[in-house]
Amino acid sequence: MAKSNYVPLFETKQVKGRLLFRCIAASIFLGICFIVMYRVMFFPVGGKAERWTWIGLFLSELWFCFYWFLTTVSRWNSVYRLPYIQRLSQRFEKELPGIDIFVCTTDPLIKPPSMVVNTVLSVMAYDYPPEKLSIYLSDDGGSDLTFYAMLEAANFSKTWLPFCKKFRVEPTSPEAYFRTASEPLSDAVNVKDWLSVKILIDGRDSNAVDIEGNPLPTLVYLAREKRPQHHHHFKAGSMNALLELHGLDAIGGPCYNGSGCFHRREALCGKKYEKNYKVDWKKVSDTKADESASFLEETCKVLASCTFEHNTTWGKEMGLIYGFLVEDIITGLNIQCKGWKSMYLSPERDGFLGVAPITLLQTLVQHKRWMDGHLQVFLSRYCPLLYGYKKIPLKLRLAYCPYNLWAANCLATLYIVVVPCLCLLKGISLFPKISSPWVFPFAYVAFVHRAYSLNEFLWCGGTFRGWCNDQRMWLFNRTTAYFFALFETILKLLGYSQLNFVVTAKVADKEALKRYDGELIEFGATSPMFDILATLAMLNLFGTFGALKKVILDVDEDLQVLNKFGLQILLCFVLVTINLPVYQALFFRNDNGKMPSSVTYKSIIFAMLACTATMY
């Protein structure tokens, strides 16, 4: 195509409100400076307990300031990409690149084959030339049930794909579509086709066609061999056998977050980026081969063996990197350090839809694994600050740190949740008096930071209730999942624990689903995480009762109490409000999603012991 006729495939635009964000960030920074000044100028001189609690709170505030700085850096120049899909065929005509799509699964009890089949069928129905599309199912569980489900999916695709084209089906997952679609009433022929649908392929084979004679995408099933003496590296090993973020986009590219991502084959296979790099799409997209399917099947058995990557650079410099719980993050960093750039695309129509755990415990377990893996990366030779030196921009290296240091937030958060409450019972003031002008920096930073967060949440299509639940999950994660992730990472470094990849369940019983649809948090299990969660909730409830007692009973001094402890009382009230679902699960719910009685008893005892020990 002549250079004068060149048209871009996308346009880069700055995110609206960037100036407002910078002004607010600057004002918050100014407020932080005043808070630091207050902590230094008004350091308590008498009382050992007062001094140590003051120091601990000051260190916690400094940590939050540091973490806020890291997140602000990554959002300073936010951009978004506006794609022009219609120009793709205009530029490349029929020479579009071949695309390989990987779908990973494990235990069929945790990830049911019906869910996997719906995922595979949905990507097979992509609006893309089928001869250029290959779908690989990596079954880490080696399940016969999953394999035979894929055989059925392969046969069903011959009917489903033309059905999707004929009726312009959205979404292209059968289960999701028929759950929301209504039966056509106007055309008897369409009704017949619609009802007939509601219920492995070699793309090189000219006979691999659907019921209308159109070619089908290639569908490959692979389950790796497993032996006790050979580590199979979980999903990363299976992925190698087969070979989200506007702020980061402006400073070198977002990190790879596991799914919903497309890679260039050269980048994923370890090739370094070169300035004169150019792709010959005609050569790359030629998928025709002389070998038969049976010959290719025999060849692929080598890849499915448990030793295929031995004495090679797979898992080290090529493919997904081994040895980390977050193989996606470390792989993306490795690719970026080889000169490749990434871009974040969030189209109006969702490109990918996923399934997440619906119970609180499974959610916390999943977050614990992520936090454990991120901190493991930060403490390894792949630490972005060091590994990315002179390879990627400083801003991008700093932007990785908020993810890597998620787990470290638990210490400062636990201090803020526990100590001010206990100091309130003890009569130790940790914040300025309400009548003092020094109260304004604390109030301004807290209010503006959360108000801007709410505004962003609403701007992105969320609701106030959704934002409140988001704040709850923020607190629940930091006080439980992050804490256990930090603890386990320390044990691993000391050699007392091993790498453990815990797969979270994506299914639940009907009653749990009903409660989830009713926006009730699902507890319903015993766990050390719930022990901590409930104890912290009871601790702040007792602290609030203690504050109310001082205000109500000491009538002559109630104004002095409010003046001296106003911010601490407000903090306790906020924490009690956040923990309302916990109190409901502890005392008022009768369904199977409530807190177990053992958790209730332990939390009350632990909280009472802590309060009693503080007051004497």
pLDDT tens, position by position, 492-529: 888 777 666 666 666 667 787 888 778 788 888 888 99
CA distance 217 to 120: 11
Q: What is the mean pLDDT of residues 325-330?
A: 81
Residues 6+ apart with CB under 8 A from 141: 105, 106, 107, 108, 223
Question: Taking all residues of the chain, what is their mean pLDDT, rounded to a whole number?
Answer: 79
Is there a domain that residue 478 lies in? yes
Domain span including residue 168:
85-91+98-223
pLDDT tens, position by position, 584-594: 999 998 888 88
pLDDT of residue 470 exceeding 80:
yes
What integer pLDDT is reported at residue 437 of this predicted model? Answer: 93
Is there a domain that residue 324 lies in? no
Is there a domain that residue 61 lies in? no
Q: Domains in the chain: how many in total?
A: 2
Is there a domain that residue 393 lies in? no
Is there a domain that residue 37 lies in? no
Residue 101, CA distances (Å) to 55, 249, 262 in order: 53, 23, 8
Is there a domain that residue 67 lies in? no
pLDDT of residue 280 exceeding 50:
yes
Dihedral angle, C-alpha 143, 147, 148, 152, nearest 10 ° = 140
Ranges 86-90, 301-305, 327-331, most confident: 327-331
Is there a domain that residue 541 lies in? yes
Give the domain-ending residue among 172, 193, 223.
Answer: 223
Q: What are phi and psi of 207, to 5 degrees?
A: -90, -5
pLDDT tens, position by position, 418-467: 999 998 888 888 999 989 999 999 999 999 999 988 888 888 778 888 88
From the list 150, 81, 144, the residue with the least C-alpha distance to 119 is 150
pLDDT tens, position by position, 30-43: 999 999 999 999 98
Is there a domain that residue 516 lies in? yes
CA distance 452 to 434: 24
Give the domain-ending residue among 196, 223, 250.
Answer: 223
Q: What is the mean pLDDT of residues 2-12?
A: 70
What integer pLDDT is reported at residue 93 of this predicted model? Answer: 67
pLDDT tens, position by position, 370-401: 888 889 889 888 899 998 888 888 888 888 88
Give the domain-ending residue among 223, 240, 260.
Answer: 223
CA distance 109 to 146: 10
CA distance 557 to 219: 76
What integer pLDDT is reported at residue 281 of this predicted model? Answer: 60
CA distance 533 to 530: 5
The residues carrying an active-site annotation are 140, 328
Contact 315, 236 (CB under 8 A): yes
Contact 94, 40 (CB under 8 A): no
What integer pLDDT is reported at residue 113 of this predicted model? Answer: 81
CA distance 551 to 546: 9
What integer pLDDT is reported at residue 293 of this predicted model? Answer: 59
Q: What are phi and psi of 52, to 5 degrees?
A: -70, -40
Contact 366, 38 (CB under 8 A): no
- Measure CA of the first residue to CA of the last residue in the chain; give whole Å: 83
From the list 106, 214, 240, the residue with the least C-alpha distance to 161 is 214
pLDDT of residue 15 exceeding 50:
yes
